[in-house]
Amino acid sequence: MPSITLPCPAKLNLFLHITGKRTDGYHDLQTLFQLLTVGDELRLSCRKDGQIHLSPEIPNLPTHCNLVYKAAKLLQCATGSPLGANLHLHKELPMGGGIGGGSSNAATTLLGLNHLWQCQLTTNQLAELGRQLGADVPVFVRGKTAWAEGVGERLLPVQMPSLWYLVLAPDCHVSTATIFSHKDLTRDTLAITVAAFLEKGGKNDCQPLVEKMFPQVRDAVDWLDQYGLAQLTGTGACVFAAFQTEQKALDVYAKLPRHLHGFVAQGVNDSPLHQCLP
């Protein structure tokens, strides 16, 4: 049976403004999703028996809760495909890091199986399926660095300069649900325009709270601030700083103290995943 190996690229939230709380319990926000050149890798192959098999097992994450498995079952149910899949996930991105690991895995599953199973769903249809799995999944399905509003589902592709990023991954797991439900979270930031962000930048409304709750994140921010503006990405633990060249990012990376871990990646406007799809 046919198989394919595809990337699951990471993302950064270059800013995150929370502009209000909705009646359905979600939050209105503004953010800019910056796609990166690094991420996880997913190998997909067809099965004739209709079964979905995911490997390897991830500690403390039952298979039926893994977004890769959930995406495969969702596509199977939505299309009525009689085929199944073997899915092998090579995990590099930290869980709870705010760099889109699980959402990117889900998007790669949807796009990869749509190809292997010959479901012929459009990108719009796959993005709508992805939205059922998480607010960040559609941006990976569409594969463009993008400005996002609403709960993150209203996307506008934006051409960003090709900067290099040093991303640090503190040794902690930050729960999105915990942060968004916390009483001290700022929820009334005024909305801005794309032009205003490109001129003056933005902030992450979750950063003060996450730094307060997780000393590991505060430590990473303090260290990285020596070399550039250190910002939190999303509602996760990872922090990043931007550099004009790869060499500048690597020079700072070489100075990392032993207790900090991270990686250097380039920001791109088009997803590495879409470049690999037939």
Between CA 102 and CA 125 the distance in angstroms is: 20
Pairwise CA distance, residues 28 & 107, whole Å = 22
Indicate the burial class of 28 (C-beta count within 10 angstroms; 0-12, 13-18, 19 or more): middle
Instruction: Confirm whether 136 is a catalytic residue.
Output: yes
Q: How far apart are CA 205 and CA 31, in angstroms?
A: 11
Q: How many helices (H) and strands (E) does the chain have?
A: 10, 10
User: Virtual CA dihedral for 203, 265, 274, 131, nearest 10 degrees?
Assistant: -30
pLDDT tens per residue across span 203-262: 999 999 999 999 999 999 999 999 999 999 999 999 999 999 999 999 999 999 999 999
The active-site residue, picked from 11, 40, 70, 219, is: 11
pLDDT above 90 covers what percent of the chain? Answer: 89
Catalytic residue among 136, 144, 205, 219: 136
Give me the pLDDT at residue 88, please. Answer: 98
Contact 92, 143 (CB under 8 A): no
User: How is residue 24 written in tokens?
Assistant: 């359905």
**pLDDT at residue number 166:** 98
The residue ranges of the chain whose pLDDT is under 70 are none
